[in-house]
Structure 1
Amino acid sequence: MAGNVKVFMLMAAMTALVMALGWMLGGAGGAMIALLIAGGMNFFSYWNSDKMMLRQQGAVELSPEQGGDLYAMTARLAERAQLPMPRLYLLPTEQPNAFATGRNPENSAVAVTQGLVRTLNADQIAGVIAHELAHIKHRDTLTMTITATMAGAIAMMGNMMLFAGNREGRGGMIGSILAMILAPLAAAMVQMAISRAREYEADATGAAISGQPRALAEALQRIAEVAGRTVNLPAEKNPAAAAMFIINPLHALRADRLFTTHPPTEERIARLMAMQGGTPPASGVGPASGVGT
């Protein structure tokens, strides 16, 4: 409950930032127009974000026959989580990773990469899928879509501030330049805070769904190790979607790591192992799964 209140407050802060930039651009009318534009962008994202995300990542939908054991595992976990069976997708990249998308549990999808299926064992894959189902159960996919859309709107409005710097009573040129620089940064920080809070919640709920906190901890460690040295080209081309993945998909050498949307993997593992009542897994743990598609 406390986590939900925090997310609500952060989203309210982002909405206030949108309106403040609108006011600087056009006074009270500008603030209202900015709010309406942000609302329109969110409405579009509400209906189309899942299709856009899956298309960007080159996802291929798996039927029950094509998905085999992976599809059956997802169905069992969805039933345990009291959720409808989500659409299941495979991503053609060797980086082990996964994400969930969709506006609600009835219109949701879980996508896993080829690398994840080949790198993790069955228990670890179950932990990852349970984590993604937790995001669907908490409706995090909608929350993150809205925050990403609003962050994009704020960045766009921040760039417009440079051309509104001579408007009297609305900050002047210096205020416009500061807003152009600081507003997108503030929006990114709010987006990061929301994403990090959601990841901790999804880890806890996912561990409860799968019943194996240690397996999820092992999966997170293994994914983080391999993702850091494996390039995910679709994710690199669309870095705004990085927050949707279970582990940051952007390459370890990129500056994006300075502003990662994910909490430290070590802290996530520690929390999961506290649930398990054991010691953290050793580096490199986990044989290949043998779970076919």
Structure 2
Amino acid sequence: MRAYSKLLDSLMKLGSIKVSDIVRSLNTNAEKNGNGLLYVVYSLNSDISVEAYFTRFYLAVTNGSLRIRGDWRKAEEFSKIMLRDTVIGNGKKLVMLFRDEGEEYVKIPTRPGSSITMNPAVSFITSSILTLIIFLLLTKYGILLTLTVVIAQVLLTNIAYTYVSFLRMIKLRVNGSSIIKVTATLPIDVPEDTLTRLISYASSIRSISKNQLALLISGLRAIGGSRILNISIERVLVPSIKGVNVYLVPSPECNAVSLNLINKVIVVSTKLVACLNEDELKAVIHHELGHIANKDTYKALAASVAYSLTSAVMLLYVIPRAGLTIVTITAYALIALLAVVTSLALSRINETKADLYALSRGYKESLATALVKVTYPSIHSSLVKRIFLSHPTTLSRINAILKMTKRLNER
């Protein structure tokens, strides 16, 4: 599977990567890693086009698309390098986040405090066990009462798990907030002691006045010296969305989730803010808004209720009457497998629809690059792995965005 070269091509067609970016990356990386560059042909007429001839493969960029021929394994290695170079960048990054409080910039804690990944297996297993207990205790009082209590229990278990997980998080409400992101880029081979001293210096800062920002930069350069390749300062404005609260959570995961039960909430990790620029962050937030608009939380609840009822009926009615046979055991196993596969398939469909929601709000290029940054280098999986993934692969998501973009342009 030529995943990286196909992804580069799709990103170019979306406009997320410019031809000039490919040319720059080509010039930087062509002679590295033993690719055996023979020669490069540039055309600078109405459109920039490049033809690069290597010992074992040929790469051409024309009319905003990428073509590769020859040894595709070598070409894939080179495409992976160019993808990282054009979208993610090279080197290690030290990122400091500050919230603009008017008179001063207050440091946002980035030390991992909690996970924002809510594992649905926890509530799923808990509600399944409680369902069996309810059936054992209440079936003698009538099937209608039993089913009513089971449905109420599944709903309450899922809601309770979601909100207990949310309440445990160390979070900061950031609706409409302005976040200052200071990023120091260092080479991959930066000495460990230099990195440790930089992290220690960054950790010691709690807040600074606006006119002390230059002193902060000077402090980083004094420690890092020539090892610091670049220091950038970026202002990121978190959108203010009516009826939806956006929270920032110190977490090592590059992730965001949405809740839509009692309140509408979007939770974003500090690492995600550190990895993305403002447009990419807005694209991710609008992706999560897509989940809220599509009522995906309620769909997941309905699926959980359906499986709990089906499982309980099989265990307490069908199997006791038909007996524990190969047929009944196989039927129950198939139902469980079907529930898992259906749940994962529903999740993948929901993710694609949320991507398209963000696309419909104008986030095309930024959504594509955000997806790459969050998932690189795991942009593709085998067919077997894809069956059990809760999210579509990055390549399939970006191709879906590309197809929808073409449809919108044809209207």
Q: What aligned pairs does 1:76-115 form with structure 2 within 5 A after superposition?
A: 78=241, 84-103=242-261, 107-115=263-271
Q: CA contact under 8 A between 1:49 and 1:145: conserved in structure 2? A: no
Determine the structure 2 residue equivalent to 1:213.
364
Q: Distance in 2 between matches of 1:165 and 1:46?
A: 27
Identity of aligned residues (%): 24
Q: What aligned pairs does 1:266-277 form with structure 2 within 5 A after superposition?
A: 266-276=395-405
Q: Distance in 2 between matches of 1:274 and 1:85?
A: 32
The answer to whether 1:130 aligns with 2:286 is: yes
TM-score (structure 1 length as normaliser): 0.59
Q: CA contact under 8 A between 1:101 and 1:109: conserved in structure 2? A: yes
Q: Distance in 1 between matches of 2:144 and 2:326?
A: 24
Asked which structure has the greater RCO (Cα within 8 Å, sep 6+), the reply is: 1
Q: Distance in 1 between matches of 2:387 and 2:400?
A: 23
Q: CA contact under 8 A between 1:165 and 1:173: conserved in structure 2? A: no
Which one has the largest radius of gyration? Answer: 2
Structure 1 or 2: more helix by fraction: 1
Q: CA contact under 8 A between 2:281 and 2:370: conserved in structure 1? A: yes
Structure 1 or 2: more strand by fraction: 2
Q: How many angstroms does 1:89 deviate by? A: 1.9
Match for 2:171 among 60, 67, 80?
60
* Cα distance, 1:49–1:142 mapped onto 2, change above 3 Å: farther
Q: How many angstroms does 1:34 deviate by? A: 6.2
Q: Encode CA deviations 1:236-259: one digit per residue, 9 max, x unaligned.
A: xxxxxxxxxxx9xxxx9xx98751
Q: What aligned pairs does 1:1-293 form with structure 2 within 5 A after superposition?
A: 32=144, 35-44=147-156, 48=160, 50-55=162-167, 58-64=169-175, 68=179, 73-75=238-240, 78=241, 84-103=242-261, 107-148=263-304, 150-151=306-307, 153=308, 157=312, 161=315, 167=320, 169-170=321-322, 172-209=324-361, 211-225=362-376, 259-276=388-405
Q: CA contact under 8 A between 1:45 and 1:146: conserved in structure 2? A: no
Determine the structure 2 residue equivalent to 1:291.
none
Q: Distance in 2 between matches of 1:89 and 1:156?
A: 37
TM-score (structure 2 length as normaliser): 0.44
Q: Distance in 2 between matches of 1:207 and 1:266?
A: 16
Number of residue pairs matched by the alignment:
217
Q: Which runs of 5+ in 1 are unaligned?
A: 1-17, 79-83, 229-246, 278-293
* CA RMSD of superposed structures (Å): 4.0
Q: Which runs of 5+ in 2 are unaligned?
A: 1-127, 181-234, 407-411
Q: CA contact under 8 A between 1:102 and 1:108: conserved in structure 2? A: yes
Q: CA contact under 8 A between 2:296 and 2:350: conserved in structure 1? A: yes
Q: Distance in 1 between matches of 2:152 and 2:236?
A: 36
Determine the structure 2 residue equivalent to 1:11.
none
* Structure 1, 194-203 or 169-178: larger mean CA deviation: 169-178
Paired AA for residue 203 in structure 1 = D
Q: CA contact under 8 A between 2:236 and 2:277: conserved in structure 1? A: no
